[in-house]
Structure 1
């Protein structure tokens, strides 16, 4: 089986996706900040909801660490908007990798063709656009938010 993900130290591929409000999020517009891309398979599922809520709950901590956290999944913008409202997200952007379907997940080599969605993964991109952290989690496992905060605190 082919290795998933991209190499630590490699340049992150630039991309542009719409968030839950239809606003554009373009990776290259965030040079000088770290970005946490938190990929989750599908909105409206319990583990994915907990994953996004952990980002929302720690949003200010991420900002203190010069990091912008964003959620990413293949769900369309209207679904993302309804889900964000349901979860009462106030700060977190959740991006729609809907069309072309899974394009950004494919750029990061974590799209699961057989399932039609991405792996559950956390990817940290540094201020220069380089990948400094890349971890794929078992699909039914909630990523440990403290692992991410600790990694960022030591960077």
Structure 2
């Protein structure tokens, strides 16, 4: 994916089994925060950081979501376990890693996605795209800096 490119539309279920369709959020920015697997330490920190900054994102007209290949029941149990109240975490379980593949982020060998943040603008175009080392929590300040024009 390149900056300015049209973001592929998709529909995934969140931890509550509700549909999340990217194109339903036109007029808002959407942060797709890909993480390899639920129930792992770095992924937990990544999702908690999104939860803790939820109001800050909302104030900047951004809808943050987490995405991994875990099935919905696992996402639901994990969200409750780590205390997610506002953040929607999406299940890219079937077809396995389908959305990660659309965005060029699926690791065939491991069977999960890269750790990455993809910011989609109000028109549905990619505004920010970064893959992070698998053992590193993504830096949200990079995105806030971009959003706040800093």
| Partner in structure 1 of residue 65 of structure 2 | 70
| Partner in structure 2 of residue 32 of structure 1 | 27
In structure 1, C-alpha distance between the alignment counterparts of 2:94 and 2:56, rounded to whole Å: 32
Deviation sequence 1:90-140 (CA, Å, 0-9, x none): 100000000000000000001000000000000000000000100000101
How many residues are aligned here?
150
Deviation at 1:7? 0.9
RMSD: 0.8
Other structure's SS at 2:86 match: coil
User: After the TM superposition, which parts of structure 1 deviate over 6 Å for at least 4 consecutive aligned residues?
Assistant: none
Deviation at 1:51? 0.2
Deviation at 1:38? 0.2
Deviation sequence 1:10-50 (CA, Å, 0-9, x none): 00000000000000000000000000000000000000000
Other structure's SS at 1:81 match: helix
TM-score by length of 1: 0.95
In structure 2, C-alpha distance between the alignment counterparts of 1:33 and 1:144, rounded to whole Å: 21
| Partner in structure 2 of residue 102 of structure 1 | 97
Answering whether residue 120 of structure 2 is matched by residue 120 of structure 1, we say: no
Deviation at 1:149? 1.4
Deviation sequence 1:29-86 (CA, Å, 0-9, x none): 0000000000000000000000000000000000000000000000000000000000
Consecutive unaligned residues in structure 1, runs of 5 or more: 1-5
| Partner in structure 2 of residue 53 of structure 1 | 48
Answering whether residue 141 of structure 2 is matched by residue 149 of structure 1, we say: no
